A and B are shown apart, each in its own frame.
Chain A
């Protein structure tokens, strides 16, 4: 089956674009929320050279089985803070993804309303039978991002 499905996921956040963009890109921040429930990003594995041509690396590990690891290596092919970044990814360790077939991850940050942000994630191409699984994964991850942003806001306001 050919990989021909793009997954498009959107969510609005009541936070300004620079805050949301930072949560996605700063290594110390993205490690705190990326990964579906049951998974986490190993903070020590995250490296990110935040510029066009810069490389990114992180490893996701299953919470209850640290031997199950999914590694993402990527190159930023577009990087415009706080508008958009596009990474060309090679993902290994995920049984649903062929590591020899590169993926594109595009994350757009659009200002809406007074100072809110529409995040649009576009990733693919996936084979049709695994696209649903990855869609669900993103849906859950974006819930975690909402929780992370709320926690961070409370922390900052309590200072």
Chain B
């Protein structure tokens, strides 16, 4: 018996991607610096503002719910919408990160002037939504713009600016504290106000530099016709997200498991590092007045690992090119795993800066290297929606951690913060082991390297 085969008609997507030099790649990614500065302010300065406005410690997790919820909902939606966007004047991804950057800028400007807790919470939701709106299409923009041989440079430039942005956000708080005195009527110190206003300027200015210096590549007539033929609207975007999940390449599904371990681990680290330092170095708990010293020292430790992040981001490009993104990521995760196991057991506050280098290396890799692999597994017409789905792989482990870790901490880790840090190390090692399960598309060499190799001869 014979069957009639009627394959779906697919269009051919054709792109011409000019190779970019390092200056162009850095300019294209500069906006990521502003966006990450905004995230840095959010991580470091928003909770103290809640405290200034009278929030109690047990309310803080709920007040911070905006982060995971907006990440879960907004990024895939924006991704799906940007995949079906094209304007000859504004481009495909740029409208979203311009809108996001404007939102970030306005929220950061207003944040230190809030006088009531509810307005601060509302602003955090808008700020988070804006950050996510700006960040998601930015990753797709890199994948749109660069040929495969330059993707490693593009994504690790984003890691570089991640470390740089977060570090400068923290440094600005430290520097302004020594230079500016006084406080607003709501009790928010002017040095906090200064840092937020600097963030407000950075987020919009850096995105504008990127937008103005880096044109988007226009779609071909066939691709444009396909974009126009797609039905618009929220329902269609949700349907597209669902289809993308159903059709997700198997290797990308495996990456979700790696992400579960590594992001669960990172959240554990962020939540418990100050308590761990308080216990191991200062021999105190959060109830003790000397806990403030541990918090302050944690700021320095975290600032240091972000410095490591932007220092190692570009060397990782060369390593990824030579050894493959998969093995580089495994190596980096193992550096962090070993580092955290040692970190949790140190009693000298200065020695903490040595093992945390491992986490800085892994953080650079986490923010860049998996994307090098992921974009080679998915069609370029769906970069936006898949970048959003990859972000769901980040946010869902965060939510799982929020729900489960309390019990794990009490029942398995004995309520000991240093055990929580060692647990993070073990999870990062588990992520490294899971990573070996992924079959990476073979290494893409840089075109410059290829020119050194022999070609076919007659």
Partner-B contacts on A (CB < 8 A) = 4-15, 55-57, 71-75, 77-78, 80, 83-84, 86-90, 102, 104, 106, 108, 110-113, 118, 120, 122, 124-125, 128, 131-132, 135-136, 138-139, 142-143, 146, 150, 153-154, 157-158
Contact = CB atoms under 8 A, between A and B. Distances in A.
Interface string B131-155: 0000000000000000111000000
B447 A75 contact: no
Given A10-B381, A110-B377, 7 more contacts: A8-B148, A73-B455, A77-B450, A102-B453, A131-B16, A136-B14, A142-B12
B8 A89 contact: no
Interface string B411-454: 00000000000000000000000000001011111010011011
Contacts, number: 141
A86 B453 CA distance: 13
Contact of B454 (A88, A139, A143): A88
Contacts of B454: 75, 88
B7 A13 contact: yes
B19 A84 contact: no
Contacts of A6: 16-19, 147-149, 447
A125 B456 contact: no
B15 A8 contact: yes
Nearest to B17: A6
A42 B335 CA distance: 54
A90 B379 contact: no
A112 to B, nearest CB: 6
Nearest to A79: B442
Interface in B1-16: 2-3, 5, 7-8, 10-16
B456 A89 contact: yes
Nearest to B443: A78
A12 B14 contact: no
B457 interface: yes
B347 interface: no
Contacts of B380: 8, 10, 120
B247 interface: yes
Contact of A73 (B439, B441, B458): B458
B376 interface: yes
B215 interface: no
